[in-house]
Chains A and B, each alone.
Chain A
Amino acid sequence: MTALTIKNLNVWFGAHHDRVDAVRGANFEVQVGESFGLVGESGSGKSTILKAITGLAPTWSGDISVEGTPLSGAKRDRAFYKTVQMVFQDPYASLHPRHTVDQVLSETLQLHGFKDIDTRVVKLLDDVGLGGKFRFRYPHQISGGQRQRVAVARALAGEPDILLLDEPTSALDVSVQAEILNLLTDLRDEHKLTYLMVSHDLPVIGHMCDRLAVMKDGEIVEVMDSEDLRQGTAKHDYSRSLLAASAAA
């Protein structure tokens, strides 16, 4: 079964002369339980695809279906939010500066209609390896890695099937990146999650994903297995040049 189907997706911003086509004719499928990567440089449209799926980018055409259910426009129903959740790039920007960890998680749980909020908050913090002592802290009282764990906990609160990961570690130090990536690996096993992960970092995508799509200027130039990435058998010139650049660095 497919978790996500993207067919002939176009996303644009602005109208008339100012119109910018951020994504053009994107096609890919993500199977249930799979981890799929989107790689490309800034402005390649990889994050825009996530925005179109979540309804944060309202102007798109083509087909997006989640577990067989087609989406339209920018409106998403409760069932969608229960199925798909997202972790944002910058943990310094994705947590409300005036809300404690406890507020963030309890509000999310409340929105998903859970009753046993207290026990669930404790469980969620446990799941992401934070423990109770972080529960009543404000974002400015915890480190970047801990913030990102809170953001992951928030995404997991509604018990989704699919997690969209938008460069979840690019704002973090490498040692913290390793911790977060390991956490994501564990969570995927435990909760049988499907990942769609966006990154500019090929080794990170290679580490986390089974398959990936390489994007350039709004188009998907190649879809390949991570194994091909490791072997260096990319077909498209651009994928090869990306690979060369990141191998050199």
Chain B
Amino acid sequence: MSNITSHDQSWRAWLMTDAPTSRRHARLANLYQGWLTLRGNSMAMFGLGILLALLLIALFAPLLSPHDPFTQSLSNRLQPLGSEGHLLGTDSLGRDILSRLIYGSRITLYIVALVALIAPVAGLLVGTVAGYAGGWTDTILMRITDIFLAFPRLVLALAFVAALGAGIENAVLAISLTAWPPYARIARAETLTIRSADYISAIRLQGAGALRIITKHIWPLCISSLIVRVTLDMAGIILAAAGLGFLGLGAQPPSPEWGAMISEGRRFILDHWWVATVPGLAIFTVSLAFNLLGDGLRDVLDPKDGSQ
């Protein structure tokens, strides 16, 4: 026992060191200290907990769900909360809402992951190139960004989906297309301040080219603020996906996407409130979790807080 604790202690000391001895050590120690900061923020840990739970639920959906999410049972329709065998009741076609929620988490995560991969990367590319190059490149890229920004998000997404056809993939694409401009703006603003920093001048004086400066020196500093922004935007992305689902332009029935579930449930909202409310609560919880985590990450990643 004491052996284990002392072993733990030495690991801790190794990770807490101010004098790392190898590249890997430096990176791990840095990560560990960021983790400690994050761990100190109980709200962020709460958010992280919810998201991990969501991940596990999505992973083990077939094991966790009590019923098949697609099996209809018209004799059993619109059962209230806590009815026998259906903890969260059933919907208008008698499908188990809990099972649909559990399976729906897969779709939610899928959408979130894809959008989180596409939109910030596109924004980062456009923003840093515009910010670093300046001049005409900047003007053209930023005017394009402005055009995208000028449209209401959901309307633009609607137009894209209408043109591309309904479906989850197209919904993801549409949301990404409407989500990147704010990231481009942030990345550009960050780049403008970083560009004139002495450490960028210093690497320029070593003969580094624009590509290297952008990817190796500017990106690492922009990425942290983008990650924070993405987690804060996740709620909006889930809601946009739900909105498209609600309008019948995202996931198609009978797919158990949460927005689509609300849409289906809205017809019964006066008499059978839980059908729309339960998926609504799920969206709310996950959005909140992302927001809390984003707040915590801001404390860890904010580059202005470099002097710890």
| Physical contact A–B (CB less than 8 Å) | yes
Among B21, B199, B206, contact of A112 (Cβ-Cβ < 8 Å):
B206
A111: CB under 8 A from chain B? yes
The answer to whether A136 and B25 touch across the interface, beta carbons within 8 angstroms, is: yes
The answer to whether B18 and A151 touch across the interface, beta carbons within 8 angstroms, is: no
Residue of B whose beta carbon sits closest to that of A142 = B18
Looking at the assembled complex, report how far the CB atom of B242 sits from the nearest CB atom of chain A, in whole angstroms: 36
Cα of A81 to Cα of B208 in the assembled complex, Å: 10
The answer to whether A137 and B19 touch across the interface, beta carbons within 8 angstroms, is: yes
The answer to whether B303 and A98 touch across the interface, beta carbons within 8 angstroms, is: yes
With A78-B207, A86-B205, A111-B207 already in contact, the answer to whether A137 and B199 are too (CB < 8 A) is no
What are 12 inter-chain pairs, A to B, with CB distance below 8 A? A56-B201, A81-B205, A81-B207, A93-B197, A94-B202, A102-B26, A111-B207, A111-B208, A112-B206, A137-B18, A140-B307, A158-B206
* Complex interface: chain A residues within 8 A of B220 (CB): 96, 98
Among B22, B205, B207, B306, contact of A136 (Cβ-Cβ < 8 Å):
B22
A90: CB under 8 A from chain B? yes
The answer to whether A98 and B221 touch across the interface, beta carbons within 8 angstroms, is: yes
Most chain A CB inside 10 Å of its own CB: which residue of B19, B20, B206, B221 = B206
The answer to whether B216 and A107 touch across the interface, beta carbons within 8 angstroms, is: yes
* Complex interface: chain A residues within 8 A of B303 (CB): 97-98
Looking at the assembled complex, report how far the CB atom of A169 sits from the nearest CB atom of chain B, in whole angstroms: 15
Among A89, A96, A100, contact of B199 (Cβ-Cβ < 8 Å):
A96
With A81-B207, A139-B306 already in contact, the answer to whether A100 and B202 are too (CB < 8 A) is no
Residue numbers of B with Cβ under 8 A of A are 18-23, 25-26, 30, 197-199, 201-208, 216-217, 220-221, 303, 306-308
The answer to whether A86 and B202 touch across the interface, beta carbons within 8 angstroms, is: yes
With A136-B21, A139-B306 already in contact, the answer to whether A111 and B199 are too (CB < 8 A) is no
Looking at the assembled complex, report how far the CB atom of A64 sits from the nearest CB atom of chain B, in whole angstroms: 15
Cα of A29 to Cα of B205 in the assembled complex, Å: 22
Among B22, B25, B198, B307, contact of A94 (Cβ-Cβ < 8 Å):
B198
Most chain A CB inside 10 Å of its own CB: which residue of B198, B201, B303 = B198
The answer to whether B204 and A56 touch across the interface, beta carbons within 8 angstroms, is: yes
A28: CB under 8 A from chain B? no
Looking at the assembled complex, report how far the CB atom of A102 sits from the nearest CB atom of chain B, in whole angstroms: 6
Among A54, A89, A133, contact of B19 (Cβ-Cβ < 8 Å):
A133
Cα of A134 to Cα of B18 in the assembled complex, Å: 9
The answer to whether B30 and A151 touch across the interface, beta carbons within 8 angstroms, is: no
A35: CB under 8 A from chain B? no
A10: CB under 8 A from chain B? no
A238: CB under 8 A from chain B? no
Cα of A19 to Cα of B221 in the assembled complex, Å: 33
The answer to whether B18 and A154 touch across the interface, beta carbons within 8 angstroms, is: no
* Complex interface: chain A residues within 8 A of B26 (CB): 100, 102, 136-138
* Complex interface: chain B residues within 8 A of A138 (CB): 26, 30
Among A76, A81, A85, A96, contact of B217 (Cβ-Cβ < 8 Å):
A96
The answer to whether B208 and A54 touch across the interface, beta carbons within 8 angstroms, is: no
* Complex interface: chain A residues within 8 A of B307 (CB): 140
The answer to whether A151 and B22 touch across the interface, beta carbons within 8 angstroms, is: no
Most chain B CB inside 10 Å of its own CB: which residue of A78, A85, A98, A134 = A98
Looking at the assembled complex, report how far the CB atom of B275 sits from the nearest CB atom of chain A, in whole angstroms: 49
The answer to whether A95 and B207 touch across the interface, beta carbons within 8 angstroms, is: no
Residue of A whose beta carbon sits closest to that of B200 = A96
* Complex interface: chain A residues within 8 A of B208 (CB): 107, 111
* Complex interface: chain A residues within 8 A of B198 (CB): 88-90, 93-94
With A98-B221, A108-B206, A158-B206 already in contact, the answer to whether A88 and B201 are too (CB < 8 A) is yes
Most chain B CB inside 10 Å of its own CB: which residue of A108, A111, A133, A136 = A136
Cα of A133 to Cα of B306 in the assembled complex, Å: 21
A59: CB under 8 A from chain B? no
* Complex interface: chain B residues within 8 A of A69 (CB): none
| CB-contacts of A49-71 with B (<8 A) | 54, 56
Cα of A110 to Cα of B152 in the assembled complex, Å: 47
The answer to whether A141 and B217 touch across the interface, beta carbons within 8 angstroms, is: no
Cα of A158 to Cα of B18 in the assembled complex, Å: 29
Residue of A whose beta carbon sits closest to that of B207 = A81
The answer to whether A54 and B207 touch across the interface, beta carbons within 8 angstroms, is: no
* Interface contacts beyond A107-B203, A137-B18: sample of 14 additional A-B pairs, CB < 8 Å, sorted by A: A56-B204, A86-B201, A88-B198, A89-B198, A93-B197, A94-B199, A95-B202, A96-B217, A107-B206, A107-B216, A133-B21, A137-B19, A138-B26, A139-B306
Cα of A85 to Cα of B202 in the assembled complex, Å: 9
* Complex interface: chain A residues within 8 A of B19 (CB): 133-134, 136-137, 141
